[in-house]
Amino acid sequence: MSNPAMLHELGGRAKTASKQIAVASSAVKNSALELMAHTLVEKQDDILTANRLDIEQATANGMNRSLLDRLSLTPARISAMADGIRQVAALGDPVGEIIEGSLRPNGLRIQKTRVPLGVVGIIYEARPNVTSDAAALCLKSGNAAILRGGKEALHSNIAIAEALREGLSAAKLPADCVQLIKDTSRQTAAEMMRMRGYIDVLIPRGGTGLIKAVIENSTIPVIETGVGNCHIYVDEAADIDMAKAIVVNAKASRPSVCNAAETLLVHQSVAPSMLPTLVSALKQAGIALRGCEQTREILGDPDIIAVTEDDYATEFLDFTMAVRVVCSIQEAIEHISRYGSGHSECIVTDTHSAAEAFTSRVDAAAVYVNASTRFTDGGEFGMGAEIGISTQKLHARGPMGLRELTTMKYIVYGNGQIR
């Protein structure tokens, strides 16, 4: 079958399935999720066999170790995926919530009611656990999912999706609530981005290149996720121990994730006293630093190379951090406005007015006072699970849980009102 015809058919099946899952009760959806978790473990051998194929191919293609690790499945990891599905089953169901309502003077009773989005498309890269995570979150929120993973994980994804679909069938729900696109060509991805009428929302999960391609090509509404060029600004009135703990945690606890910090900004009045402590702690944590002129002057450390404009604009995602001395909180805010990606930003301060200025003027999904940017996460925010972290302003901003996978409709009850 040609790609467009294949996608057309798959989209039609998703639309049909979405109508059934949209009105399924929480009990039915939860029992389906339990069965999906069960089948995933039951089919573990098939999944591991498929995963070995992916690993062999990726090794032959020279994939680096950290990506290979992300791609690899083990019985423990499959078990964790099943547990993840069960955790989603345990979360509250957002569908049907009456968000607000009013009785109008003419007697119309208006109820703003939470309903599923319909069909959610997700384009992602190498990690096969996204297949089960995304499917579970979409299902619980009453949506059908069309998944398009990376070619590196294709065999694993096929085996996982097959297990999830068996679980759905066992629960007497349409297996087509979860569909995987098995053609991982770029052309098919581009066609998927234009499946208006079939896909209601498209969520790309992956690197900058993927997200950029989706934004350029999609005619479906998109929720951008994930790019995090985050900053820690150490204000003049910062506590040095707190600043040290936050900076090291935000940068070094897990540099490869989007909520990790990339640039340290330090107020000039405390730079001479604090920079040596902060930088020495960062170096001890294995971080290589790139500093502005003032930073390098203060420290006189030959390890610290000169930072560039490009560095400020880069999400390093590894053990590198930029350092800049700023002359005021205003300059820190301007730096963030210029280079930040609107993900997570932090000020360390004990001055109330500085905290106020920073939180009101910094335009990002999450703005922290005296806490690590690493907390920007669905679990940490109490959502239970997340489908991604939105860095755009429409619909959802920051961690997206089940509620962010819904929309609403107005249900209006009358007794013959006309206008």
Interface positions with a copy of itself (CB under 8 A): 19, 22-23, 102, 104, 108, 110, 115, 117-118, 196, 200-201, 215-216, 219, 221-223, 239, 241-242, 245-246, 248-250, 253, 337, 355, 359-361, 363-372, 374-376, 380-382, 392-395, 397-398, 407-419
Give me the residue label for tokens 């384009």: 123
- Tell me how far, at minimum, the Cβ of 352 lies from a copy of itself, in Å: 11
- Tell me how far, at minimum, the Cβ of 192 lies from a copy of itself, in Å: 16
CB–CB of 351/235 below 8 Å? yes
Under the phi-then-psi rule, with left for phi > 0, alpha for psi from -120 to 50, and beta for the rest, what region is 193?
alpha
- Tell me how far, at minimum, the Cβ of 355 lies from a copy of itself, in Å: 8
- With respect to a copy of itself, which residue has the nearer C-beta, 53 or 411? 411
- Tell me how far, at minimum, the Cβ of 287 lies from a copy of itself, in Å: 15
Classify the C-alpha dihedral 176-178-183-188 as positive or negative.
positive
- With respect to a copy of itself, which residue has the nearer C-beta, 131 or 218? 218
- Tell me how far, at minimum, the Cβ of 364 lies from a copy of itself, in Å: 6
Classify the C-alpha dihedral 342-344-345-350 as positive or negative.
positive
- With respect to a copy of itself, which residue has the nearer C-beta, 57 or 337? 337
Of the CA atoms within 13 Å of residue 114, those in its CB half-sphere come to 16
Which helix (H) or strand (E) segment holds residue 308: the answer is: none
- With respect to a copy of itself, which residue has the nearer C-beta, 76 or 418? 418
- Tell me how far, at minimum, the Cβ of 68 lies from a copy of itself, in Å: 26
- With respect to a copy of itself, which residue has the nearer C-beta, 144 or 154? 144
271's CB contacts (< 8 A; 6+ apart) are: 294, 295, 298, 325
CB–CB of 132/107 below 8 Å? no
Provide the 10 A C-beta neighbour count for residue 198: 23
Give me the residue label for tokens 């019985």: 75
Q: What is the end-to-end Cα distance of the chain in Å, rounded?
A: 51
Q: What angle do CA 232, 234, 235 make, to 5 degrees?
A: 135
- Tell me how far, at minimum, the Cβ of 334 lies from a copy of itself, in Å: 10
Total count of residues recorded for the chain: 419
- Tell me how far, at minimum, the Cβ of 386 lies from a copy of itself, in Å: 13
Give me the residue label for tokens 């169901």: 93
Report the C-alpha gap between 295 and 304 in whole angstroms. 9
- With respect to a copy of itself, which residue has the nearer C-beta, 170 or 215? 215
